[in-house]
Every structure is written in structure tokens, then in C-alpha cells.
Amino acid sequence: MTKRDYLSVDDLSVDELADLLAEAAKMKSKPASYQNLLAGKQIAMIFEKPSTRTRVSFEAGINSLGGRAIVLRADELQLGRGETIEDTGRVLSRYVDAIVVRTFQQERLERLAVGASVPVVNALSDRSHPCQALADLLTIQEQRGKKLKGTSLAYIGDGNNVTHSLLLAGAKMGMEVRVATPEDYAPAPEVVERAKEIAAHTGGKVIVTDFVPEAAGGAQVLYTDVWTSMGQESETEARLKVFEPYRIDAEVVGMAARDAIVMHCLPAHRGEEIAAEVMDGNLAVVWDQAENRLHTQKALLANLLT
């Protein structure tokens, strides 16, 4: 069987993405039916960035499917130091059945995938967060009665890796994805163009603006992320000033649809990108969103390994 990698949402076709979400929903409802699905499988998990949700959701998911997770920190490997990244991929492929990586540069993932003969999964890079997007779609599907096509999602904040994955995932599901971000922090133009290309075939729509009301007006989903990601700590003070008008607060919630839900991929900084009363209010579905990382990643691994 030809190995498949999952480095971007765009690695899945529209039908494959829909099927994966359906399988994740089944796994969530009947977890005991899948407890031996990955029996005998060994999965390496490489963390070059600290992690809470990614580490625990992947390891718990692998264990619940009967597999075994081998967790490796960057300081425990010679990744790109004593040997090439491609060589590390070749060596690990002789020991394990898949490699999950949380790293900085997307290029490191791609080089590892070139060398590896087993599936490589992007658990986060500075370019994309495709596993988070799967959990986001499942959460919206649950909240809106399985209706993704035509759903309007307003992402407000930094045009980062989460934004990139939401643009691609939403476009593939025929959603209307609106991104409001300061001009100098907009998502990568090539990602936006690719999302628009996908949307043209699925009936979706992509809007990128620096005007919050244009994105939030009538939106059925409001979404945000931290303004300063790992590795950008030196920019914190400057970012706080620039992003001040891009907070999801009661005023922004008032612009959205009456039945809107609020999402955040966590960790959240209350009082910065999201007001505390919104984060902890009854419109927020962030804990369901976090839980769904477990179920969608189980479905993804099953898809890649069985």
C-alpha cells in the first residue's frame, strides 16, 4: 500500500474529508468497537514544541485503538543535527508504523516525509495546524446538525497556521470562511488563493478583510486564536497594540447570528483575543472542540494505517 502523509488539510480530497469526519463521529459514539484497530502498531510522536492537547489527545487516542505511542522530545533526537532530517525519517520508518510531528518550520515536516516510508502527520507547524481543523469541523457539524455546507465562519485575529487550515478545511466543506485580521498579519496569499480555488468547486466562499464587522456580521461561528504564538514572544507588546480591535467580546458577538457559537483552539488568553465572559459563556464550545481532537485524530490514524 502506498503510504499517505497528512501535512496539510489539502492532502485530503473533499470526499475523504467528509468520510473522515463521519468515521470520527462513529468512533466518538462507540469507542469500544475500535479498541483493537491499531493493535500491534507503533507510532512515534516527536515534539519540538511544548504541548498539552496535542500530546495527550494523540497518545490517549493511540492507546484507545490498541496501538502504542513512543513519545520523543527534540533534545532526545538528532533531528537535523547529527544526521539529516531525511535520514531520521528513514531510520524511524524501520521501527514504527507512523510518525506524528509537532514542530516549527513546515519544511522540516516535508523533509521528514520525503525520507520516511511510513505516514507522517503534521501535529502542528508554523504553516498549518491540520489536525485542529478536523476537530473544528466535527464540532461545527455536531453543533449545527451535520450542516457544514453554507455555514458562515468568521475567524478574527492573527492570520496564522490555524487560519490557514480553517481556510482550506472550510472551503472543502463548502463553508463561507471570513477572515478579519490586520493587513500586515493577513494569512499567506497563496493559501487564500488555494482556498478560493477550492471554494469555487464546492460552493463555498472565502473573504479576507481588515474590517471586523464585515467578517462577524451574521456569522454562525466566531473563532479566534492567541495573538502571539510560540516563537513570537519578542513581538508580544507590539502585537497587543495592533490586535486590540480584533478581540471577540460582547460587541462582536452581537454582530453575529443569534444562534452563533464561539470557538477557540486553546490555550486562551482571557482579556486579550477573547473576553472572559465570552470564553466562559454559554455560546462557547471550546471544550467540545478540545475533546474532538481525540476523536478526529483517531479517525485520521485509522485512515492512514488501516
By annotation, the residues acting in catalysis are 102, 129, 132, 225, 265, 293
- In whole angstroms, give the CA distance from residue 11 to residue 17: 9
- In whole angstroms, give the CA distance from residue 259 to residue 257: 5
Phi-psi region of 185 (alpha: psi -120 to 50; beta: other; left: phi over 0): alpha
Residue type, 93: S
Q: Cβ distance 136 to 33 under 8 Å?
A: no
SS3 string, 99-143, reads EEEECCCHHHHHHHHHHCCCCEEEEECCCCCHHHHHHHHHHHHHH
What are 87's three cell numbers?
Answer: 535520514
**Interacting residues of 226 by C-beta distance below 8 A, sequence separation 6+:** 157, 158, 267, 268, 269, 272, 273
295: closest CA among 123, 99, 12, 58? Answer: 58
Q: Cβ distance 192 to 167 under 8 Å?
A: yes
Measured in residues, the chain has a length of 306
- In whole angstroms, give the CA distance from residue 208 to residue 36: 44
